Amino acid sequence: MKVTLTHIKADIGSLPGHTTVHEDVLNEVKRFLKEQSKGIIWDHFVGYVGDDIQITMVHDNGVNASEVHKLAWDAFKSGTEVAKKLGLYGAGQDLLKDSFSGNIKGMGPGIAEMDITPRRSEPFIVYMMDKTEPGAFNYPIFKMFADPFNTPGLVIDQSMHDGFKFEVWDIQEAKAIMLNAPEEMYDIISLIGTKGRYVIKRVYTKKEHGKLPDENVAVITTDKLSFIAGEYVGKDDPAAIVRIQSGLPASGEAMEAFSHPYLVSGWMRGSFNGPLMPVAMKNSKMTRFDGPPRVVALGFVYKDKKLTGPVDMFDDPAYDNARKLANDITDYIRRMGPFEPHRLPEEDMEYTTLPKVMEKLKGRFVHVDAVEKGVSKNSTGRDSD
């Protein structure tokens, strides 16, 4: 039987700034889905991270199913009405188009979905990040599926020993490439280290995989709001679905990839580098400098049209040290204020007001030789000509 996991997320309004979702909006999205989802999806869960509402769904309509996408879109529309009434900030922020047109791609919400062949037990983790971008998943997804120091299963589990295939997207040129790990590991790293451009979209097992050949086992949202809107309208806070166990990374191997709060871009105004802090869903209020960027992990199993769970995976003292380190990095890096490398480099600022500042100052730039001439004139007190 074909089964599809679909995860769709959007920021439809927050309290007071880009801090957190409002309970009434969350409840409206839940109410809408409870009443309208029958006959379209089998089961679902509504969660959140920071100011983003997240819908995890399971159904048999396949990926890109118009009715499933429309259900999520309409649920977000309905939630937006409540957000507007309450006067929440950025009500409907990520709903960039006026009306639904067949597919939610390119309309603002982030989407990650895959068709799966369900196993006897089908465990998976949904990771949801706020105040960062899709490329923030490059590092942890690589660690889970390609780094034996993170995932010893790559060495000691016979069915993982051949490695995995990585589908990497160039999101600037809208191109994709399939690369094999471990054979092409250095090529993979040389691309995905440029995380603002090359992003891991999907991971597949190889055809040699003993338990689950040629199967999609991870998928990440890659939607870029600025490409749709043409200007900065919030960072493209991403989410991912990662299947685990039986020939895939164990739950703890998938979780271990987040034990180090590596730097991601996003944070305040989508314009700063900062540490990714793993937190419980209830602790995902984005307070300090609208962050620091956070990741929430929800663990599910799927069976017979039902989702069981989730377990709030980072709601655990085992991640206290990662959070402490993230706070220490925050103290350190915040003192740089608007300077790089805390602030993002110029090319990442093109959707902010920085190009407008440059436009304003354009006429006042002169060649350095002219300045040097002036300096020598000033220092000698007389014209050197």
How far is it, in rounded angstroms, from Cα 76 to Cα 98? 12
Which of these segments, 83-91, 189-197, 308-316, 373-381, binds Mg ion (CB under 5 A)? 83-91
Tell me how far, at minimum, the Cβ of 359 lies from Mg ion, in Å.
26
Task: Answer yes or no: are the C-beta atoms of 274 and 293 closer than 8 Å.
Answer: yes
351 annotated ligand-binding residue: yes
236 annotated ligand-binding residue: yes
As given in the structure block, the two tokens for residue 146 are 């390609």
Virtual CA dihedral for 103, 107, 112, 118, nearest 10 degrees?
-20
Tell me how far, at minimum, the Cβ of 219 lies from ligand 13P, in Å.
21
48 is catalytic: no
| DSSP result, 301-368 | EEETTEEEEEEETT-SGGGHHHHHHHHHHHHHHHTTTT-TTTBPPGGGGTTSSHHHHHHHHGGG---H
Which of these segments, 134-142, 262-270, 273-281, 367-375, binds ligand 13P (CB under 6 A)? 262-270
Phi, psi of 379 (to 5 degrees): -70, -30
Tell me how far, at minimum, the Cβ of 17 lies from Mg ion, in Å.
8
Question: Which partner in Mg ion, ligand 13P, none is near 290 (CB below 5 to 8 A by kind)?
Answer: ligand 13P
As given in the structure block, the two tokens for residue 237 are 């806070």
SS3 sequence of 335-354: CCCCCCCCECCHHHHCCCCH
Which of these segments, 47-55, 134-142, 212-220, 239-247, binds Mg ion (CB under 5 A)? 47-55
Tell me how far, at minimum, the Cβ of 339 lies from Mg ion, in Å.
24
Tell me how far, at minimum, the Cβ of 12 lies from Mg ion, in Å.
9
Q: Which of 30, 170, 232, 373 is catalytic?
A: 232
| DSSP result, 206-273 | -TT-SSSTT-EEEEE----HHHHHSS--S----EEEEE-SSSS--HHHHHHTTSS--EEEESGGG-EE
- State yes or no: residue 131 binds ligand 13P (CB under 6 A): yes
Tell me how far, at minimum, the Cβ of 194 lies from ligand 13P, in Å.
21
- State yes or no: residue 111 binds ligand 13P (CB under 6 A): no
147 is catalytic: no
Task: Answer yes or no: are the C-beta atoms of 199 and 220 closer than 8 Å.
Answer: yes
Task: Answer yes or no: are the C-beta atoms of 302 and 310 closer than 8 Å.
Answer: no
Task: Answer yes or no: are the C-beta atoms of 302 and 118 closer than 8 Å.
Answer: yes
Q: Which of 143, 235, 342, 343 binds ligand 13P (CB under 6 A)?
A: 235
Residue with tokens 């090359």: 198
Interface with ligand 13P: number of residues (CB under 6 A): 16
The interface with Mg ion within residues 209-268 (CB under 5 A) comprises: 234-235, 237
- State yes or no: residue 234 binds ligand 13P (CB under 6 A): yes
Nearer to ligand 13P, 109 or 234 (CB): 234
Task: Answer yes or no: are the C-beta atoms of 107 and 22 closer than 8 Å.
Answer: no
Sequence letter at residue 138 = N
Question: Which partner in Mg ion, ligand 13P, none is near 252 (CB below 5 to 8 A by kind)?
Answer: ligand 13P
List 198's β-bridge partners, or say none.
Answer: 170
**Binding region for dihydroxyacetone phosphate:** 18, 131, 269, 290
* Contact footprint for ligand 13P (CB under 6 A): 11, 18, 50-51, 93, 130-131, 234-235, 237, 250, 252, 268-270, 290
As annotated, the active-site residues are 11, 232, 235
**From the annotation, which residues make up the binding site for beta-D-fructose 1,6-bisphosphate?**
18, 89, 102-103, 131, 245-246, 269, 290, 351
Q: Which residue ranges make up the site for Mg ion (CB under 5 A)?
A: 11, 14, 18, 50-52, 90, 130, 234-235, 237
